[in-house]
Amino acid sequence: MGTTYNDYDVLALVQYLLYRVNVSFVYRLKAPNEERFHFDQSLCCCGGSNKRWEHEVLNGDDQQASGQSMIEIDGSFGEGGGQILRTSVALSALTMTAVRISNIRAKRPQPGLKRQHLTGIEMTGHLVDAEVEGLEVGSTVIEFVPRERRHGRFTLDVGTAGSISLVLQAALPASILSPKPTTFSLRGGTDVKWSPPVDYVERVFGVLLERIGPRIEIEQKRRGHYPRGGGVVECTVHPVESVAPLNIVEFGKLSGVFGVSHCVRLPAHVADRQARSAFTTIQRELGIAAEIRLESYHKDRDPHLGPGSGIVVWADSETGNRLGADSLGDRGIRAEEVGIAAAERLVRDLSTGYAVDSHLADMIIPYLAVADGDSRIGVTEITSHLLTNIWTVERILGTRINVDGSLGGPGIVTVHGEVLSV
């Protein structure tokens, strides 16, 4: 009956509730430090280069920050995973304030930084010419000190099937307020476990991001699956002077369902079976015929390094809202099961009547925290991952975020944005 939760979920909720009680007293006694939001031209100090990097830096700001304090983040809070690390570094770069993150991935079987975490921090560090200490595999403490906003073109090999989308999660926030557009050319994994597919980032997250101002253009030149990777993605970010607030609680009337089902280094029928099973499920449950594009390659003309498959589906409303869901193929899992899993997740989210799926909420919260005004979003599921991310945002920015709902159920998140502009 209902959803079951592991110890991390329960601990995250308890920690979050205790933190919110403490924060309420802090706000009554002392307002958040307003100096944290005076970062339009304050900048800090430089890190070393990486052999995998190629970058062309153009027209950075030159004014240096002086005397800024370093915000302390406990990486063991809540889930104690990599999301706290990515969000902390992303917000540090976005606001040009220094952070120190300790107890990194303290609740994982192998604590500390793994190789895939290094690339996201490296990418973000180059965007703001940051001085980074502790950036090595196994490190449980890092210090990230931004110095100068940069733009231009950055090229990085994430390594084998390291997630490109997670690197973008860390790097994109710093790019939205850059002086001019920034382009990332990335090589790694496009469709891998524990991260949103690049299709989702482009088709779902990118659409919502544009509603608040910044625009991203993504070209997926080649897919990369575990273990060999080899995916190639180019992402261009068109920045804004400030971020607009967002008010989308109810999804609205369904107008259409779309998707893309792919397979590489596999027979074309794999992508077809994924799509057909998703189509059948959606038509049965929602009474609408989904339009799902197929992507496959002839074995003699397939440029990919290794086999893999997956499907991303999304639903549009008459009011312009979009919900997304995805599922990844794996050995021992029938293609039909992959398609059904994505479709059922989409149907389940739509049944809540809310406008933002849980993964999208997790990704958009940092942007709303620096918007010019208050935002309200209806979330299809409040996860421990989302609560942990909210805690991180509040800790770094001092932004007030209210969550009306219970763990595992739908809810409404209100973000009292603290405008940040350059």
In the annotation, is 359 catalytic? Answer: no
- 304 within domain boundaries: yes
98 plus 122 within the same structural domain: yes
Find the helix packing angle between 164-175 and 115-127, rounded to 10°: 20
Whether the CB-CB separation of 309 and 274 falls below 8 Å is answered with yes
Residue 344: domain span:
250-351
- 1 within domain boundaries: no
Rounded to whole angstroms, what are the CA distances from 246 to 252, 317, 370, 377?
Answer: 15, 16, 11, 7
Phi, psi at residue 367, to the nearest 5°?
Answer: -70, -40
Compute and round to an integer the Cα radius of gyration of the chain.
21
**pLDDT tens readout for residues 289-325:** 999 999 999 999 999 999 999 999 999 999 999 999 9
d(CA 196, CA 310): 11
275 plus 129 within the same structural domain: no
- 103 within domain boundaries: yes
Whether the CB-CB separation of 341 and 327 falls below 8 Å is answered with yes
Q: What is the pLDDT of residue 422?
A: 61
Q: What is the pLDDT of residue 241?
A: 92
Q: What is the pLDDT of residue 77?
A: 87
311 plus 362 within the same structural domain: no
The active-site residue, picked from 117, 225, 262, 385, is: 385
* Ordered strands of the 322-328 beta sheet: 291-295, 254-264, 308-317, 322-328
Find, among 64, 49, 244, 36, the residue nearest to 149 by Cα.
64
175 plus 139 within the same structural domain: yes
Give the pLDDT mean for 247-269: 98
- 382 within domain boundaries: yes
Give the pLDDT mean for 146-162: 89
220 plus 267 within the same structural domain: no
Structural domain count of the chain: 2
**pLDDT tens readout for residues 24-76:** 222 222 223 322 222 222 222 223 333 233 444 444 443 334 346 899 999 98
CATH of the domain at 276: 3.30.360.20
Query: In this structure, what token pair is assigned to residue 306?
Result: 């290794």
Q: For the chain, how far is it from start to end, CA to CA, in angstroms? A: 50
90 plus 171 within the same structural domain: yes
d(CA 271, CA 347): 20
**pLDDT tens readout for residues 74-114:** 998 877 678 899 999 999 999 999 999 999 988 788 889 98
Mean residue pLDDT of the chain comes to 85
Name the pLDDT band for 348 (thresholds 50, 70, 90). very high
Name the pLDDT band for 6 (thresholds 50, 70, 90). low
Percent pLDDT > 70 in the chain is 83
213 plus 105 within the same structural domain: yes
346 plus 362 within the same structural domain: no
- 264 within domain boundaries: yes
Residue 384 has pLDDT above 80, yes or no: yes
CATH of the domain at 362: 3.65.10.20
Query: Which of 351, 368, 391 is the endpoint of a domain?
Result: 351
* Lowest-confidence region among 79-93, 251-265, 344-358: 79-93
Find the helix packing angle between 358-368 and 164-175, rounded to 10°: 30
337 plus 284 within the same structural domain: yes
Q: What is the pLDDT of residue 110?
A: 85
**pLDDT tens readout for residues 405-418:** 999 999 999 999 98
How are beta strands 291-295 and 254-264 bridged, if at all? parallel
Q: What is the pLDDT of residue 13?
A: 47
102 plus 204 within the same structural domain: yes
HEC readout, the chain: CCCCCCHHHHHHHHHHHHHHHHHHHHHHHCCCCHHHHCCCCCCCCCCCCCCCCEEEEECCCCCCCCCCCCEEEECCCCCCCHHHHHHHHHHHHHHCCCEEEECCCCCCCCCCCCHHHHHHHHHHHHHCCCEEECCCCCCCCEEEECCCCCEEEEEEECCCCCEHHHHHHHHHHHHCCCCCCEEEEEEEECECCCCCCHHHHHHHHHHHHHHCCCEEEEEEEECCECCCECEEEEEEEECCCCECCCEECECCCEEEEEEEEEEECCCCHHHHHHHHHHHHHHHHHHCCCCEEEEECCCHHHCCCCCCEEEEEEEEEECCCCEEEEEEECCCCCCHHHHHHHHHHHHHHHHHCCECECHHHHHHHHHHHCCECCEEEEEECCCCHHHHHHHHHHHHHHCCEEEEEECCCCCEEEEEECCCCCC
Rounded to whole angstroms, what are the CA distances from 396 to 88, 126, 151, 202, 307?
Answer: 7, 21, 24, 27, 41
Name the pLDDT band for 421 (thresholds 50, 70, 90). low
Whether the CB-CB separation of 305 and 229 falls below 8 Å is answered with yes
pTM: 0.84
Q: What is the pLDDT of residue 160?
A: 81
59 plus 147 within the same structural domain: yes
Query: Which of 331, 351, 371 is the endpoint of a domain?
Result: 351
Q: What is the pLDDT of residue 418?
A: 86
